[in-house]
Amino acid sequence: MPLLKDGRIVEDHWQFIGDDDDIPVQGDIVVSFERLKNSIEILVMRKGYLGVRLDNDADAHDLAPYINNLALIALEFPAFTDGRAYSQARLITTQLNFTGELRATGNVLADQGVFMSRCGFDAFEIDEHQPPHLWLSLANAMSLAYQKGYRARAGFSPRAVVASRVG
């Protein structure tokens, strides 16, 4: 899956480590929330950045004890019509005050890019059939939004949501 960040395709230097895989000595790794909980002592000792993949039925508040150790949180859209990760993203960025990479994975489509960005996502594992220019042109299609508190994260699109006004 190509990774879209800051409006362009970037190299994905993160490696997902399954629950039964050995933890590599170095490099940036993403683990499941189970593994994060169970192996946090080991994980924070190693070199390289740490990320977690959170299931979309998990309570995002449970990440609170670990939030300062995390440089990436990956949330999942099993189907693009399953919108739980929007609320998880919102909790993670506004209540846990996470500022690292928040990545959208799964059925991630360009038509929902602006919604994701405004809920706090800043990295997108995108479908090969939907190139970055489509994402950007869709993001630019709507320059207004009513919800004041939901600002697109920097770098997503220069024009998306420049004005807003309600609650």
The CA radius of gyration of the chain, in Å to the nearest whole number, is: 16
Q: What angle do CA 21, 12, 50 make, to 5 degrees?
A: 50
What b-and-e string marks burial along 63-92, b requiring 16 or more CB atoms within 10 Å of the CB? beebbeebbbbbbbbeeeeeebbbebbbbb
* Stretch (H or E) spanning 52: strand 50-54
Residue nearer to other proteins on the CB measure, 154 or 166: 166
Residue nearer to other proteins on the CB measure, 93 or 100: 93
Mode of pairing for the β-strands spanning 3-5 and 123-125: antiparallel
In the complex, minimum distance from the CB of residue 68 to other proteins, in angstroms, rounded to a whole number: 20
Residue nearer to other proteins on the CB measure, 94 or 99: 94
From candidates 21, 34, 62, 111, binder to other proteins by CB under 8 A: 111
Q: Assess 159 for contact with other proteins (CB under 8 A).
A: no
Residues from 52 through 81 that contact other proteins (CB under 8 A):
59, 80-81
| Contacts with other proteins, residue ranges (CB under 8 A) | 59, 80-84, 86-88, 90, 94-95, 109, 111-112, 114-116, 118-119, 137-138, 141-150, 163, 165-167
